[in-house]
Amino acid sequence: MNFYVADTHGLYWYLIASPLLGVNAKKAFDEGKNGNAIIYIPSIVIAELYFLNKKHGEQIDFSVEFARLKNSSQFEFVGFKAEDVDDFTIDDAVPEMHDRIIAGVARRLSAGCLTRDQKIVASKIVKIVW
C-alpha cells in the first residue's frame, strides 16, 4: 500500500481531469482508485479547494465532490491540530503557511506529496510525486 498527501492544485486537477496534473500524480490517484494507495487530504486543502473552485468558475459541484471524497476509501482527511503548529519550525523551509501545513502532513506520515509547488519541491522536506 502506498501513501500520498494531495496538495490543492493536484486534487483540483485530478477532480476536473486536467492535463496539468502530472503523470506520476495521476498514477498515484489511480492507485488509490484501485485500492492500492491512500490519498491523505489535509483540511487546509479542502478549504483551498473550495476557494480555487470558486475562482475558476465552479467547474465542480463542491458539495457533491466533498461528499464523494468523504465517502471514498481512496481518500482520508487529516485535520489540523494546535499541536501541529509546534512542527512549523521543522518545516520552515516552506515559507507559506498553508503549504507548510501540507508539507508537514506529508512529512509526519512519511507519504509522497502530490504537488508541483516549487517552494515545497525546493524545500526537500518530503518526497515529491508529480
Residue 65 lies inside a defined structural domain of this protein: yes
Predicted confidence (pLDDT) per residue in 109-122, tens digit: 999 999 999 999 99
Please give the average per-residue pLDDT across 7-13, as a whole number: 98
Q: What is the model's pLDDT at position 112?
A: 98
**Alpha carbons 37 and 58: distance in angstroms, whole number:** 28
pLDDT tier for residue 57 given thresholds of 50, 70 and 90: very high
The mean of the pLDDT values for the chain is 97
Q: What is the model's pLDDT at position 39?
A: 98
CB-based contacts of 18, cutoff 8 Å, min separation 6: 12
- Nearest Cα to Cα of residue 79 among 49, 110, 47: 47
Domain that holds residue 35: 2-123
Residue 100 lies inside a defined structural domain of this protein: yes
Q: What is the model's pLDDT at position 102?
A: 98
Q: What share of the chain is helix, strand, coil (3-state, %, to 5)?
A: 55, 15, 30
Q: What is the model's pLDDT at position 110?
A: 97
In total, how many domains does the chain have? Answer: 1
Q: Which ranges of the chain would DSSP assign to H, the alpha helix?
A: 8-15, 23-33, 43-55, 62-71, 97-109, 118-123
**Alpha carbons 6 and 85: distance in angstroms, whole number:** 20
Predicted confidence (pLDDT) per residue in 88-105, tens digit: 999 999 999 999 999 999
Residue 130 lies inside a defined structural domain of this protein: no
Looking at residue 85, which CATH number applies to its domain? 3.40.50.1010
Q: What is the model's pLDDT at position 116?
A: 97
Read off the amino acid at residue 90.
I
Residue 96 lies inside a defined structural domain of this protein: yes
Q: What is the model's pLDDT at position 1?
A: 95
List 112's β-bridge partners, or say none. 4
Residue 129 lies inside a defined structural domain of this protein: no
